[in-house]
Structure 1
Amino acid sequence: MSFDPFIKLGISAILGLIIGLERELKRKPVGLKTCLVISISSCLLTIVSIESAYVFPEKNHITMDPLRLAAQIVSGVGFLGAGVILRRGNDSISGLTTAAIIWGAAGIGVAVGAGFYWESAFGVALLIVSVEFIPVLMSIFGPKQLREKEILLQITVADAKNIAEVIDKIKSQNIDIKTMRIKDLENHHHLIKLKAAVDQKRAAADVYYAIRTIDSIINIDIESA
């Protein structure tokens, strides 16, 4: 009996563990266990697909594609990835990176199952570098847009006459306003919803204190990634 399939499954488990650990450390919905299952299962299906192509034709005299079953894994895992993509109430999308990680874990499993060990290991290394270190470098040396983070502000203003003044003072605090929505409330109050960008290193508390000093503002609600 050949031990090659067991070696492949072991390598796939180790590489899947590395991918899952990165998600686990960030407290993402798809973590260690999910990536392990995806990577190992993809590897197993690839092994079955390849081995079957060379075992059954000898008995049935038929032609089979060695990677036919494995080819369906990548598309099939897309359904699992779709389950972790969420749309928040503020119309922002989250979970895309996690969905991509799921797809990547399946790809690593397929590669290991096909016998591409070093390529798989290098792929995992590049994946971790891309997710962990590249964004950090971009936040330091990249364009201004990549050195900013998005925040959502909900501000209650006492009088409509003060809205323009409040917006000008917010802009003066190095807050780049992208979109704005104004809604009338009871008691002649007005709700201003802003999608803005600030420096990546700037804390949400600092933004809060900077805006809280503006006159005519009654309430502030800040949401930051």
Structure 2
Amino acid sequence: MNFELYIKLTFALFLGLLIGIDRQLKHKRLDINTTMVICVASCLITVISIESVTKFAVLGLTNRDPMRLAAQIVSGVGFLGAGIILRRNNDVISGLTSAAMIWAASGLGIAVGAGFYLEALYVAGLLLLAVNVLPHAIKRLGPVKLSQRDVSVKIVMEANYKLTDLIKTIEGKEQTGIEHNQKVMDIRHLKIKDLDSSFQQVELILAAPEKQFTSEIYYFIKRIDHVVSVEVEHL
């Protein structure tokens, strides 16, 4: 009985569990089951690919690549990653990190299957550090724009010539009777269209500070003159 094989599969299961727990805690579209299956299956295929060379090759007659099957894992698992990536109605793409973690889980399984235990464990630690610790540190220590998040806003307002004033007020470039919350919001995308002769619709993508509540943005815009309704969505 090959006990090393069972050790490899169990260790791959553990690393897949770590990746899955991280995604699950963040309520992403990638659960624990998926990452464990990917990691264990990748490990098994890698072991089979390596061991089959020794078992079935005939010296001097057979030319086999011990990592041939493992090479196909990297491309094949891309189909699973593509299924995680979503494109919403507002053209926002989500799920890229989870798709990358699927690909990484397969890589960990390959590494364990090839016998690189410490290397796989170290990379798993780096992955968790990369998605949980470093982004927050960079946002805290880096430029302000790194700590901003995108917010989609749809505004219906009375038809008038005050659209420029509305934009200036949102960006804080115009002093009004409304108390501004001192948190800078940048307009990244702007679309204006007429609903009818009485109303206009303004669609915005705002770059707002992460610490600013979405409700604050809603009430701030709601109090602006000539605004009839506001719809705010955190992207």
* TM-score for both structures, normalised by structure 1: 0.96
Equivalent pair of 1:148/1:197 in contact (CA under 8 Å): yes
Provide Cα deviations, 1:132-158, integer angstroms capped at 9, x if missing partner. Answer: 111111120112221111111100110
Equivalent pair of 2:42/2:73 in contact (CA under 8 Å): yes
Give distance in 2, aligned partners of 1:207 and 1:138.
Answer: 25
- Which residue in the other structure is 1:177 paired with? 187
- Which residue in the other structure is 2:97 paired with? 97
Q: RMSD of the TM alignment (CA)? A: 1.3
Count of aligned pairs:
225
Equivalent pair of 1:139/1:200 in contact (CA under 8 Å): no
Structure 2 gaps of 5+ residues are 173-179
Provide Cα deviations, 1:167-191, integer angstroms capped at 9, x if missing partner. Answer: 1111115221111100110252000
Q: Which runs of 4+ in 1 moved over 2 A?
A: 58-61
Identity among equivalent positions (%) equals 42
For residue 229 of structure 2, give the secondary structure of its aligned residue in structure 1: strand
1:193 to 203, 215, 229: 203
Amino acid aligned to 2:46: T
Q: Tell me how far 1:162 sits from its aligned partner.
A: 2.0
For residue 41 of structure 1, give the secondary structure of its aligned residue in structure 2: helix
The farther-off stretch of 89-98 and 52-61 is 52-61
- Which residue in the other structure is 1:10 paired with? 10
- Which residue in the other structure is 2:22 paired with? 22
- Which residue in the other structure is 1:217 paired with? 227
Give distance in 1, aligned partners of 2:185 and 2:24.
Answer: 33
Provide Cα deviations, 1:69-91, integer angstroms capped at 9, x if missing partner. Answer: 00110011011101111111001
Equivalent pair of 1:157/1:217 in contact (CA under 8 Å): yes
For residue 65 of structure 2, give the secondary structure of its aligned residue in structure 1: coil
- Which residue in the other structure is 1:84 paired with? 84
The structure with the greater share of residues assigned to helix is 1
Matches within 5 A, 1:134-153: 134-153=134-153
